[in-house]
């Protein structure tokens, strides 16, 4: 049904500055760029930077993650199934690379897009960043997230972990070769009102975390020190100033 992440759309104030920044972060040159849209390709995933004032409609974010697009084998069949499972589906008029899009209007904010997988595999890009490790979703109601991602979308729940020391409950869903990680802050002073889950942050997998840390620091990008990750066998560091308001983590898995 759902094969994995097709692309991520990030709204930015200016595409030229954002393109330079993401070229450093991803260690890649864009595959296409103009005043309105810049496209990076990393493995089978595309990262699309769109100028913030381009196509901003009701509910659209001014800066940050604008949507996540999921590749499916059969768009019409998947859209009908999502509708039967209680999600509002808008077929709209948008298209990506000539592929029609169905937008799921409930469950996450911003919305999730569905589109059929590419006919041919995208060529893999080479760089020190291997690919997306996980997409982070912030949730005020993890049981709702579980019903949405696991029940309605059918993603495989791999881990459900709560740790009082971290003040959080985390759900991990496999989505193709990446993971959708849901974080619920349990240490909040008062419960939040129920709202949609929010696309929040990104974690990029790297081959050599020390080299990546040196490369970004040399480019003038503020980074934290390297530390042991919460996942066993990982080391991580954070970009101190989230690019385009997207909290960003770099991760190396030692095993």
Strand partners, 109: 198
The fold of 2-117 is: 2,3-Dihydroxybiphenyl 1,2-Dioxygenase; domain 1 (3.10.180)
Determine the pLDDT at residue 192: 57
Number of helices (H) and strands (E) in the chain: give both, helices first. 4, 18
**pLDDT tens profile 81-122:** 999 999 999 886 667 888 899 999 877 776 789 988 876 556
Query: How far out from the chain centre does Cα 248 lie?
Result: 10
Share above pLDDT 70 across residues of the chain, in percent, rounded to a whole number: 88
129-253 has CATH 3.30.2130.10 classification: no
SS3 159: strand
Q: Regarding beta strands 64-72 and 2-12, do their DSSP bridges make them parallel or antiparallel, or are they unpaired?
A: antiparallel
Q: Do domains 2-117 and 129-253 have the same CATH topology?
A: yes
Residue 80 has a pLDDT of 94
SS3 89: strand
Specify the pLDDT at position 124. Answer: 56
Range of lowest pLDDT (4-8, 56-60, 73-77, 163-167): 56-60
Instruction: Decide if 155 contacts 173 (C-beta within 8 A).
Output: yes
pLDDT tens across 205-235, in order? 999 999 999 999 999 999 999 999 988 899 9
Residue 59: predicted pLDDT: 46
102, two tokens: 């169905």
In the chain, domain spans: 2-117, 129-253
pLDDT in tens, 32-60: 999 899 999 998 899 999 998 754 444 45
């Amino acid at each position: 049904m759902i094969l994995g992440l097709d692309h991520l759309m990030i709204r930015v104030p200016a595409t030229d500055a954002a393109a330079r920044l993401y070229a450093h972060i991803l260690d890649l040159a864009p595959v296409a760029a103009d005043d309105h849209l810049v496209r990076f390709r990393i493995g089978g995933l595309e990262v699309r930077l769109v100028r913030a004032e381009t196509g901003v409609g009701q509910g659209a974010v001014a800066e940050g993650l604008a949507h996540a697009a999921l590749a499916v084998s059969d768009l019409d069949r998947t859209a009908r199934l999502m509708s039967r499972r209680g999600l509002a589906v808008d077929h709209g008029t948008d298209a990506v690379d000539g592929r029609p899009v169905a937008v799921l209007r409930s469950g996450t904010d911003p919305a999730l897009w569905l589109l059929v997988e590419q006919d041919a595999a995208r060529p893999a890009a080479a760089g020190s960043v291997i690919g997306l490790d996980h997409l982070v979703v912030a949730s005020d109601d993890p049981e709702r997230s579980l019903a949405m991602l696991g029940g309605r979308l059918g993603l495989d729940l791999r881990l459900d972990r709560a740790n009082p020391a971290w003040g959080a409950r985390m759900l991990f869903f496999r989505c193709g070769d990446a993971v959708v990680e849901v974080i619920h802050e349990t240490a909040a002073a008062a419960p939040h009102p129920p709202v949609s889950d929010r696309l929040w942050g990104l974690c990029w997998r790297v081959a050599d975390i020390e080299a990546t840390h040196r490369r970004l620091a040399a480019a003038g990008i503020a980074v934290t020190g390297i530390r042991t990750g919460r996942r066993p066998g990982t080391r991580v560091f954070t970009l101190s100033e989230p690019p385009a308001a997207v909290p960003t983590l770099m991760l190396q898995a030692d095993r």
